[in-house]
Amino acid sequence: MANCRFLSRFELDSSNNQIHITDNTDHVGGFSFTLDAGLYYFSLDDSTAAGALDFGLELESKLDNAFSSSAPWEVQIANVNSGASSATAGGRIVITSALATWTLNISNPLFTLDPRILGFADGADQGSGIYTFIISDYVHRYGWYPAAPAYDDEAVTQKMTASASESTSGFVDIVHFRTYEEANIVVEYVPTALIRERGAANADRANQSGLTQNDPNASLERFHIDIVENGLEFRYYKAITAYTIADYDGPYKIPGSSPLYRDPLSTSSQPFSNADYWNTRVDGREVAT
């Protein structure tokens, strides 16, 4: 069974869609370019559909347009479609260019994109020196890569609801039926650093999962908090290496009886006392369209 992955949607607008880069060929003094505003997944599926844009395609195409055609760029995700070492955590971003020297100027005020989307921290420029590619320090934000298969994949089920309207005389007039999908996806034996945000603060736990210590994005906890705080939709991919438009279930939203309190670890438990692994369940309800 292949490891699975989860992606949530995020939005770019005029306040957070600029990138600044310097290189030794085309833009020695630095150059800013703007990503299109819209709703994105870091999907790699080449989607140009409104509401489901592929962030990898957008970034790659804007980099190619901004620089010489003789130095094409490639944006990949470790353990999804890149040749990064298997010891590298799934979800770290690999950016490749034929340029000899280039730098992501994250510290520049003109760089307004949240660097966590690219797997980097605020404030630190990346790539200075002689590099043809860089691997991000952290797993990219808005993705969860549990390094385990979904053991109960059959928990994606169809349900039906009905609603009725009454005539002016008080009789049932019209009954509306709608089917929808619910997901209760069970993932077992997930390392602590990929469940709890503070788990990655421990060097041994981070190393066990191929993470950089204190990775802010890798945990289920952070993924869940982002979804709930921002009302984000998410997708489930059964296989981490499958990323076409046909390879996911969803989009879903996190269900819950209270909009004020939702515990991101409420569906997680440790199967053995003192074990450094967790079993968890990701619940979702199909987004109405």
pLDDT (tens digit per residue) in 71-84: 688 999 999 987 66
pLDDT for 30: 79
| Closest CA relative to residue 128, chosen from 150, 148, 151, 106 | 106
The alpha carbon dihedral of 34, 37, 40, 46 has a sign of negative
- Whether 236 and 248 have beta carbons less than 8 Å apart is answered as yes
Q: How many domains are there within the chain?
A: 1
Residue ranges making up the domain that contains 96: 5-144
What would the pLDDT profile of 5-57 be if each residue is shown by its tens digit? 999 999 999 999 999 988 876 666 778 899 999 999 999 999 999 999 999 99
Is 243 inside any structural domain?
Answer: no
Cα–Cα distance between 36 and 57 in angstroms, integer? 11
Residue 30's identity, in one-letter code, is: G
Is 259 inside any structural domain?
Answer: no
Cα–Cα distance between 2 and 179 in angstroms, integer? 29
Token pair of 185, please? Answer: 């996806």
pLDDT for 111: 94
| pTM for this predicted structure | 0.87
Q: Average of pLDDT values for 151-158?
A: 70
Is 38 inside any structural domain?
Answer: yes
Cα–Cα distance between 260 and 265 in angstroms, integer? 15
Is 169 inside any structural domain?
Answer: no
Is 78 inside any structural domain?
Answer: yes
> In sequence order, what DSSP letters do the residues of the chain get, joined into one string?
----EEEE-EEE-TTS-EEEEEESSS-TT-EEEEPPPEEEE---S----TTSEEHHHHHHHHHHHHS-TTS-EEEEETTTTS---TTSPTTEEEEEES-SBEEE-TTSTT--S-GGGGT--TT--B--SB-SEEEEEEEPTTEE--SS-EEEGGG-EEEEEEEEEE-TTSSEEEEEEEEEEEEEEEEEEEEGGGT-GGGGGSHHHHHHTTPPTT-SSSSHHHHHHHHHHHT--EEEESSTT--STTSEEEEEE---S-SS---TTTT-B-SSTT-SEEEEEEEEEEPP-
What would the pLDDT profile of 189-220 be if each residue is shown by its tens digit? 999 999 999 999 999 999 989 999 999 999 99
Is 180 inside any structural domain?
Answer: no
| Closest CA relative to residue 234, chosen from 224, 221, 242, 219 | 224
Is 277 inside any structural domain?
Answer: no
Lowest mean pLDDT among 78-92, 108-122, 241-255, 256-270: 256-270
pLDDT for 287: 84
Question: How many residues can be counted in the chain?
Answer: 289
Is 234 inside any structural domain?
Answer: no
